[in-house]
Amino acid sequence: MDQISLNADPRSAFGSRAARSIRARGRIPANLYGHEEGNLHFSLDAKAFSKFLEAGHRLVTIRLGEQEESSVVKEVQYDPLGTTLIHVDFTRVRLDEKIEVEVPIEPIGVPKGAAGGGVLEFPLKEVRITGFPQDLPEKYELNIETLELGQSIRLKDLSPPPNCSFTEDPELVVAAIAHPREEVAAPAADEEQAVQPEVIGKKKPEEEGESEAKK
């Protein structure tokens, strides 16, 4: 996992109003904590951090003036629409200490089962991996070309990156080729029963007969 550096500006104002003011300047409020050291509160350039995140990076050196902190992205918060970054939390790391992170899974190739009409299901988009920061990958590439119709790949079928290990349930399905769903045919026209609406106030045949008898 490559370690990138991001320049940070200290912040001393807190609360929703202060956060809105920071974001209005094109920056993101952020915190750094961990290892029983004091928490740091700062802001980052929104474009620089978005580019860093979209590239799949997680390990980062936060530069706050003369101070440098090795850290990993712990949590990213978005607005209610899920489109705009509003806050980031980082946790300190040491190169000689193992950490656990979520790594995106990137499927490679076109599965054979797709040619037979199968549908690719990909329920596990990220996998939790533990290892030393320098050994953790930016992404986990998964070759799915050999997947046939009805077959699946579980976490236990995969090999973790060197010097790392998976921390989730080995039985989790990572990818599968499912049979296409059968469409339910609409009922034939002669099988449908046409139901005529009853006119409110109209007499039924037996009621009409009784009325004629009383005349």
CATH fold of 101-178, please?
RNA Polymerase Alpha Subunit; Chain A, domain 2 (2.170.120)
Query: What DSSP character marks residue 18?
Result: H
pLDDT at 101: 86
Q: Mean pLDDT score of the chain, rounded to an integer?
A: 84
pLDDT at 190: 54
Residue 64 pairs with which residues in a beta bridge?
Answer: 67
Contacts of 110 (CB under 8 A, 6+ apart): 144, 145
Q: Domain spans of the chain? A: 4-93, 101-178
Q: What is the pLDDT of residues 183-197, one digit of tens each?
A: 555 555 555 555 555
The whole-angstrom separation of Cα 132 and Cα 129 is: 10
Categorize the per-residue pLDDT at 2 as very low, low, confident or very high, splitting at 50, 70 and 90. low
Any idea which of 92-96, 124-128, 196-200 has the lowest mean pLDDT?
196-200
Categorize the per-residue pLDDT at 37 as very low, low, confident or very high, splitting at 50, 70 and 90. confident
Q: What is the pLDDT of residues 88-119, one digit of tens each?
A: 999 999 888 998 888 889 999 999 998 878 89
* Mean pLDDT of the 25-34 span: 94
Does the pTM surpass 0.85? The reply is no
The whole-angstrom separation of Cα 71 and Cα 32 is: 8
Structure tokens at 181: 């769903």
pLDDT at 36: 80
Contact yes or no for 89/82 (Cβ under 8 A)? no
* Mean pLDDT of the 151-155 span: 95
What is the percentage of the chain residues whose pLDDT exceeds 90?
Answer: 53
CATH number at 4-93 = 2.40.240.10
